[in-house]
Amino acid sequence: MENKTTIGTAIGKIILIGEHAVVYGHPALAIPFPETKIKTIINRKKGHVTLDCYFYKGLLSNVPERLLGLTTIIKEIVNSFSEKLEDISIKIESSIPPERGMGSSAAVAVATVRALYDFYERPLTREDLFKWSNISEKIVHGNPSGIDAAIIIGETPLYYIKGKPFIPFPFKLDAYLIVADTGELGQTQAAVASVKKLIEFNPKEGENIIKQLGILTDNAKTSIKINDIVSLGKTMSKAHTLLDKLDVSNETLNYLVSVAIDNGALGAKLTGGGRGGCMIALAETQYQANFISNKLLYSGAKNTWIYNMGVDLA
Ligand code: MEV
């Protein structure tokens, strides 16, 4: 049996504004986050298929429930090639902290689809990538808007509306974005389900919050276009207050948001599904970003990243 190895990669994502509202057809702004990456390595190896990743190491046939999205697409892809699911090992290496709102599940799917198509020497179209990653995301999140897959596949900032053609939104902003990991697993599926419940039981309040979040995304877009980082920061903080009202924040996120603001951030909010995961804060200068980042780490953040929005997003 000849040796063969293929590697698929994918980067993480950060939602600047519009999470949750995007599920209901409102816009969201998201950016690729190349500081974090997934790498799927497929090797030819005689015998049953094995999987080695953060949550599990062993036979593919015994993977835990939480990896069902990934294993479903692995099986369906190999089946669609009319190949037998055997004689390969799959290893997933990640610098995207899992379940923190950085798109790790979509990135794992995208990296794995890329590695599989390469291994079986099939041409991979963007449509294939969207199709498979959305199948996996549906299993993982229940009712995804598709924004995570869109950003991770496109690798460009997007103004995203569910079901509409993607509108790339490259920009340069004289500001720095601090991303801080609470260290707590986010609960996207539970948060999305609880927003749905709120809208069902209290449509007036729920729909109003969602609508306001959509308006804030458009305000943020305008602020970015004119490089008005002060108003962008205020808009981000308003969005956090609304997300908290939707009950998708938690104490740790609220605390880190307040630490960022108390230490000079122009604005701060949770990012992604919420109820754990990551928060983001906007700073005017690199010095300020470092200062806020250190305060966040001192206040319990498990990790931070600083993103220069003047160079990284064009
Ligand atoms: C998750 O990254 C973003 C949510 O809006 C869910 C989705 O859009 O699928 C919470």
Q: Mean pLDDT, to the nearest integer, of 16-40?
A: 95
**pLDDT above 90: residue 300:** yes
Ligand 1: atom nearest CA of 146 is 9
pLDDT digits (tens, 9 = 90+) for 176-230: 999 999 999 988 889 999 999 999 999 999 999 999 999 999 999 999 999 999 9
Q: Average the pLDDT over 235-258 and give the result.
A: 98
User: Do 192 and 303 lie in a common domain?
Assistant: yes
Task: Tell me which of 13, 22, 133, 162 to substitute to probe ligand 1's pocket, judged by most ligand atoms within 8 Å of the beta carbon.
Answer: 22
CA distance 264 to 183: 23
Q: Kindly tell me if the per-residue pLDDT of 53 is higher than 70.
A: yes
pLDDT, residue 101, reads 86
From the CA of 23, give the closest atom in ligand 1: 8
Among 138, 36, 129, CA closest to 77 = 129
Atom of ligand 1 nearest to the CA of 18: 5
Instruction: Report whether pLDDT(312) > 60.
Output: no
- pLDDT of 136: 96
Neighbours of 258 (CB within 10 A): 14
Q: What confidence score (pLDDT) does residue 35 get?
A: 85
Mean pLDDT of 252-262: 98
**Domains in the chain, number:** 2
Domain that residue 128 falls in: 5-167
Q: Whole-number mean pLDDT of the chain?
A: 95
Contact at 8 Å (CB) between 244 and 162?
A: no
- Among 76-90, 133-147, 252-266, where is mean pLDDT lowest? 133-147
Domain end point (choices 129, 147, 167): 167
Q: How confident is the model at residue 135 (pLDDT cuts 50, 70, 90)?
A: very high
Judgement on whether residues 97 and 218 belong to the same structural domain of the protein:
no
289 and 148 in a single domain? The answer is: no
In a domain, 313, yes or no: no
Pocket-forming residues, ligand 1, beta carbon under 6 Å = 15, 19-20, 22-23, 101, 141, 144-145, 147-148, 188, 192, 272-273
Tell me the CATH number at 129.
Answer: 3.30.230.10
What pLDDT was estimated at residue 171? 87
Q: How do 158-160 and 28-44 pair as beta strands?
A: antiparallel
From ligand 1's centre to the CA of 19, what distance in Å?
A: 5
Residue 148, C-beta contacts closer than 8 angstroms, at least 6 positions apart: 13, 103, 105, 106, 107, 137
Give the number of other Cβ atoms within 10 Å of residue 172's Cβ: 14
Question: What is the pLDDT confidence band of residue 142, given thresholds at 50, 70 and 90?
Answer: confident
Write down the pLDDT at residue 313. 59
What's the whole-number mean pLDDT along residues 138-154?
A: 92
Active-site amino acid positions = 148
Mutate to test the pocket of ligand 1, among 100, 102, 147, 159 (most ligand atoms within 8 A of CB): 147
Q: CB-based contacts of 297: which residues, under 8 Å, 6+ apart?
A: 180, 303, 304
Mutate to test the pocket of ligand 1, among 148, 179, 279 (most ligand atoms within 8 A of CB): 148
Nearest to 267 by CA among 211, 218, 228: 228
Residue 33 — φ and ψ, nearest 5°? -130, 80
Please, which residues have CB within 8 angstroms of residue 20's CB and are 6 or more apart in sequence? 191, 192, 195, 210, 213, 243, 246, 248, 273, 274
Supply φ then ψ for residue 236, to 5 degrees. Answer: -60, -45
**259 and 183 both lie in a single domain:** yes
Q: Which atom of ligand 1 is nearest to the CA of 191?
A: 10
- Helical H runs in 81-187? 104-119, 126-141, 147-154
Q: Is the pLDDT of residue 13 over 80?
A: yes
Q: Are residues 121 and 201 in the same domain?
A: no
Does residue 141 carry a pLDDT above 90? no
Q: Is the domain of 137 the same as that of 217?
A: no
pTM of the model: 0.94
